[in-house]
């Protein structure tokens, strides 16, 4: 076992978000793929877990912005990016059936 295994996956105040770590994805492509393959229930659970913590998350990230983030901070930041990615589905479309659009991955040509 590496010693890193002792490190928490997320910053301590946000450890309760650990069940959603599969949303901590580095690339826009991965976040889109996660959004389009997750069930609507999974998307809502993630959104509902993140939204009440957003102010706290923003305050926390402020202190480490523009620096090399330690992995737990980085994961928290990536969770925030996924929250932004899914927000229109939860808040505006509300259901996938409302979406009349091309496959989002078609936009990632470059």
Partner 1 sequence: MREKQWAEKYPDLGTAPLPAEPYISDEFFALERDLVFYRNWIIVGRVDEIPEAGDYFVRDVAICKASILVIRGSDGVVRSFHNVCSHRSNKLVLDKRGSCAGGMYCHFHNWLYSDKGALVRVPDEENFFDFDKRDHGLKPVITDTCGGFVFIHLHPEPVETLHDYLDGISDRLNDQHFHEMTLMQTYGVTESANWKVGLDAQNELYHFPFQHRWISGDSLLMNDKKQCRYRDVTLYNYHSAWSCEYDPVSKPTPLKAALFKINKKTRTSRLPRMIGDTELFTLFPNFAIVVMRVGGVMTSYLTYQFWPSTVDSTLWEIRIHFRKPQTARELLQQEYYKCITRDTLQEDTASHETVHKGLVSRANSHMILQDNEIAIRHFHKVLQDRVGLHLN
Per-residue x/- track, 71-110, partner 1 (CB under 8 A): ------x--xx-xxx-xx--xxxx---xxxxxxx-xxxxx
Residue 83 tokens read as 């929250």
- Applying CB under 8 A, the span of 4-12, 15-23, 38-46, 53-61 interacting with partner 1 comes to 53-61
Please tell me the total number of residues recorded for the chain in this structure: 110
Distance from C-alpha of 102 to C-alpha of 29, rounded to nearest angstrom: 15
The Cα angle at residue 23 between residues 41 and 90, in degrees rounded to 5: 40
Instruction: State both tokens at 62.
Output: 């402020």
- For partner 1, give the closer residue by CB, 5 or 63: 63
Residue 9 as a binder of partner 1 (CB under 8 A): the answer is no
Q: Which is nearer to partner 1, 7 or 91 (CB)?
A: 91
At its nearest, how many Å lie between partner 1 and the CB of residue 2? Answer: 29
Answer for the pair 84, 20: CB distance below 8 angstroms, yes or no: no
């Amino acid at each position: 076992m590496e010693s890193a295994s002792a490190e928490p996956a997320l910053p301590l105040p946000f450890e309760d978000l650990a069940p959603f770590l599969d949303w901590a994805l580095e690339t826009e492509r991965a976040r889109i793929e996660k959004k389009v393959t997750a069930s609507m229930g999974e998307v809502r659970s993630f959104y509902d877990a993140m939204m009440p913590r957003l102010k706290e998350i923003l305050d926390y990230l402020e202190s480490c912005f523009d620096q090399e983030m330690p992995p737990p901070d980085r994961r928290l930041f990536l969770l925030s990016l996924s929250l932004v990615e899914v927000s229109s589905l939860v808040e505006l479309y509300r259901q996938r059936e409302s979406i009349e659009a091309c496959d989002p991955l078609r936009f990632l040509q470059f």
